[in-house]
C-alpha cells in the first residue's frame, strides 16, 4: 500500500522539472540569490543551488545571473529545474545498463522493465541512477559521491515502462536538455498495446491531468481544465487485433502517467496496466478458452504494455538533432505475435 511519505515524495518528483516562479517582496533587503533560494527551497544545499544558477537553470527578469547577484524588490525569478534533495545519498551499484549512445555530454539508455529510474522511498538501491553512478565511477574513479551528476536526470519513465531515456553528464548539458523538455521540443514516441478496437485511425487527447482525489497513487483526467496540468497526447493506430489495438503515442506534454491516463480516458486502457484496471478482460466475452488466452498474455507480459520507442533532441554541444529508436522488448513482441496469430487463425 502507498504511504503518505511515498505520495509526498512522488509529488515532489513531479515538480522536479516544472517551472517555478517567484516575485521578490517589496520589503526584501538586498541578499545573494543563492542564499535567498536556499532559505526557500527545503533540503537544498548552497552548492547545488550554485550549480543550477551557473548552468542557466534560473533567470531573473528574463536574464541569467551569477550566484552573487543580489535580489531586489520586484525581481521576477523563474527556476527551470532543480536537483531534488532526496538524491543526497546515491550508492553506486554494478547494474547492467543497455547504453544506446554516450559521449562527454549525454547518456542514452534503453531501460528494461521492472527498474525504477531514481532512488526514493522503498527504492534506495537497484535503480537506473545507481547503475549510472557506478558506470561514471568506472570512467573516473576519482569522483566523490557528492560529485556524481544527479542533476543529469531530466525526465523519467515509469518503473514498468521500457525504452529510451536520456541523462546529462554535465551541468550545462542538463540545463540545455531541461529547457528542451520545458519547451516540449523533445521528440518522444511510445508504442502501447491497449484494450479495445479504436475506431479512428488517429486522434488527439487534450485533457488536464492531476492526482486522483480518492486513489492518491494514481492520476485521472479533468477535461474542463479547472484542475490539474495541461496535457496533450496524439495517437495513431499501428495494428488492430479486434479486442486490443497497437498504437503509437506522441507526447506533446510530459505528465506523470500521461499516456496511461489519457488512453483510459478515451476508453482504451493499456493492456495489463493493473493500476488503471487493465489487468482484467475489458473487451471480449469471458469464457474459458478466451480467458486462458488472455491470462497467458498477462503472464508473458506481466506489466503495463508501454514502450518508449523514439527519442530525439538537440545535442547540447553540437546543437544538431540526434534521434534514437529502440525495438519493442521481447515481452511485448511475444504478446503482439499471439494476438496477431489469433486474428489470422481465429484460434487461441
Active site residues: 158
Sequence length of the chain is 348
- Distance of alpha carbon 15 from alpha carbon 21, whole angstroms: 12
Distances (CA, A) of 29 to 24, 38, 266: 10, 16, 52
CA distance 89 to 148: 10
CA atoms within 13 A on the CB side of 309: 17
Classified as helix, coil or strand, 66 is coil
Contacts of 71 (CB under 8 A, 6+ apart): 24, 28, 30, 31, 32, 33, 36, 60, 77
**C-alpha cell of residue 52:** 543550477
Instruction: Give every CB contact of residue 93 below 8 A, 6+ residues apart in sequence.
Output: 125, 126, 130, 131, 133, 134
Q: How far apart are CA 105 and CA 135, in angstroms?
A: 14
Amino acid at each position: 500500500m502507498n504511504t503518505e511519505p511515498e505520495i509526498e515524495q512522488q509529488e515532489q518528483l513531479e515538480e522536479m522539472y516544472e517551472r517555478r516562479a517567484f516575485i521578490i517582496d517589496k520589503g526584501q533587503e538586498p541578499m545573494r540569490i543563492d542564499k535567498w533560494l536556499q532559505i526557500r527551497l527545503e533540503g537544498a544545499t548552497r552548492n547545488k543551488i550554485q550549480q543550477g544558477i551557473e548552468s542557466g537553470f534560473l533567470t531573473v527578469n528574463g536574464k541569467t545571473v551569477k550566484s552573487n547577484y543580489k535580489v531586489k524588490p520586484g525581481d521576477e525569478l523563474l527556476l527551470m529545474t532543480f536537483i531534488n534533495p532526496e538524491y543526497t545519498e546515491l550508492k553506486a551499484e554494478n547494474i547492467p545498463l543497455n547504453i544506446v549512445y554516450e559521449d562527454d555530454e549525454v547518456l542514452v539508455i534503453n531501460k528494461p522493465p521492472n527498474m525504477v529510474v531514481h532512488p526514493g522511498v522503498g527504492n534506495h538501491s537497484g535503480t537506473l541512477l545507481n547503475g549510472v553512478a557506478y558506470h561514471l565511477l568506472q570512467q573516473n574513479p576519482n569522483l566523490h559521491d557528492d560529485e556524481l551528476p544527479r542533476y543529469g536526470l531530466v525526465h523519467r519513465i515509469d518503473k514498468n515502462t521500457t525504452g529510451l531515456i536520456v541523462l546529462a553528464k554535465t551541468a550545462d548539458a542538463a540545463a540545455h536538455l531541461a529547457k528542451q523538455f520545458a519547451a516540449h521540443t523533445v521528440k518522444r514516441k511510445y508504442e502501447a498495446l491497449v484494450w479495445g478496437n479504436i475506431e479512428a485511425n488517429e486522434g488527439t487527447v487534450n485533457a488536464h491531468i492531476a492526482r486522483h482525489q480518492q486513489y492518491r497513487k494514481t492520476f485521472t483526467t479533468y477535461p474542463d481544465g479547472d484542475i490539474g496540468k495541461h496535457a496533450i497526447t496524439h495517437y495513431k493506430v499501428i495494428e488492430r487485433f479486434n479486442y486490443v489495438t497497437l498504437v503509437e503515442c506522441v507526447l506533446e506534454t510530459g505528465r506523470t502517467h500521461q499516456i496511461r491516463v489519457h488512453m483510459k480516458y478515451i476508453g482504451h486502457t493499456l493492456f495489463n496496466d493493473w493500476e488503471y484496471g487493465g489487468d482484467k478482460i475489458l473487451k471480449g466475452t469471458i469464457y474459458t478458452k478466451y480467458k486462458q488466452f488472455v491470462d497467458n498474455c498477462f503472464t508473458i507480459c506481466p506489466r503495463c504494455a508501454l514502450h518508449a520507442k523514439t527519442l530525439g533532441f538537440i545535442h547540447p554541444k553540437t546543437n544538431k538533432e540526434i534521434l534514437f529508436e529502440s525495438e519493442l522488448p521481447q515481452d511485448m513482441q511475444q504478446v503482439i505475435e499471439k494476438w496477431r496469430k489469433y486474428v489470422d487463425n481465429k484460434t487461441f
